[in-house]
Structure 1
Amino acid sequence: MPNRELDELDRYIVYRLQQNARSTSAAEIAEDYGVSPSTVRNRIGRLESDGVIQGTHLDIDYELVGYQLFTIIFCTAPIPKREQLAREAMDVPGVVSVRELMTGEENLHVVAVGRDSDDLSRIGRDLSKLGLEIVEEELVHNEYSCPFYWFGQDTTSPGEEQASDSDPNGA
């Protein structure tokens, strides 16, 4: 699949939506950027149809609703079956996400939630039945995320100075 180049407006839209897609309107983005709301809506539609934006995700406080065990289960899957097993793991009740790594041991990170240790034991058994080798399980205390920094910045590459109209010698 060829790379999709993002122009400055596309990057700004993605950055703003990463901050809070649920309550950020096209009209707000348009006003802040100085374009029409229809331009922003069209760009969002194109970003979605091109697969750049693949959905919006809620940040849920599982503990607040009775699921106090938030865990990452590190699994090893045979490389030829890794993608298939990752997709099958998503069907296990209690699993909320799976991260597929390209190489090595512990090449699937399964994030799951449960009310108690019985829930986590069942999830572990279900993952094992799929053919995953569970290497380690870690309870998560907190998780933090933020928008990707470079979408909110100018197009200058990291470590690269912006071009300036002034004489570098101070003249």
Structure 2
Amino acid sequence: MPTLELDHLDKQILYRLQQDARRTSSNDISETLDVSASTVRNRTRRLEANGILRGYHADVDYEAAGYQLFTLIVCTAPIPERENLAEAAADVPGVVEVLEVMTGEGNVLVQAVGADGDDLSRIGEELDDLGLRVSDEDLIRNTHRRPYARFERADGA
């Protein structure tokens, strides 16, 4: 699929949605950017249709939700199987996100949530059964996320 050329308005819309998509309406964005709300809606639909804007995700505090263990599991997959194994890992109960990394070792990063150590052991075993080699497991204390700053700057630099 060809890459959609993003102009300043597209970038500004993406930046504002990254800040807080749940409480940001087309009207809110249109007021700050001095364009119509329908322009923002049309641009948003185009960004979605082109696969640039892929979704609106909840940011869950797992500890507050009763799941004390939020972990990053570093796995290695054979390169030809990496994508298929990453997709399969996403289906393991307790796994909340899987990232494919462009390296030979540690090329699949799995974020998982568990109520206790047994939960995390089961997840590790299921990942191993899929064919992923687990090399490290780290408990995540906090996640800090910010919108991509280049979308905000007027010069696009």
Q: Which TM-score band applies after superposition, normalised by the shorter structure? A: over 0.9
2:25 is aligned with 1:12? no
Whichever residue aligns with residue 34 of structure 1, its letter is D
The alignment partner of 2:59 has SS state of: coil
Q: Deviations over 1:19-65 (max 9, x none)?
A: 00011000000011111111100110010001110001111011111
**TM-score for the superposition, normalised by structure 1:** 0.90
2:94 is aligned with 1:74? no
Change (3 A) 1:57 1:156: closer
Q: Deviations over 1:96-129 (max 9, x none)?
A: 0001011220000000000000000000010000
Structure 1 residue 85: Cα displacement: 0.2
The alignment partner of 1:112 has SS state of: strand
2:135 is aligned with 1:122? no
**CA distance in 1: counterparts of 2:32 and 2:21, whole angstroms:** 15
Change (3 A) 1:111 1:85: same
The alignment partner of 2:6 has SS state of: coil
Structure 1 residue 156: Cα displacement: 4.5
Contact 2:71/2:113, CA 8 A, preserved across alignment: yes
Which aligned segments of 4 or more residues in structure 1 are displaced greater than 3 angstroms?
Answer: none
- Unaligned residue ranges in structure 2 (runs of 5+): none
- Unaligned residue ranges in structure 1 (runs of 5+): 158-171
Change (3 A) 1:11 1:156: closer
**CA distance in 1: counterparts of 2:104 and 2:78, whole angstroms:** 10
**CA distance in 2: counterparts of 1:82 and 1:129, whole angstroms:** 14
**Quick check: which has more Rg, 1 or 2?**
1
**CA distance in 1: counterparts of 2:117 and 2:105, whole angstroms:** 25
Contact 2:8/2:156, CA 8 A, preserved across alignment: no
2:67 is aligned with 1:84? no
Q: Deviations over 1:121-170 (max 9, x none)?
A: 0000100000000000000111101000100102343xxxxxxxxxxxxx
Aligned to 1:165: none
**TM-score for the superposition, normalised by structure 2:** 0.98
Aligned Cα root-mean-square deviation (Å): 0.8
Aligned to 1:96: 96
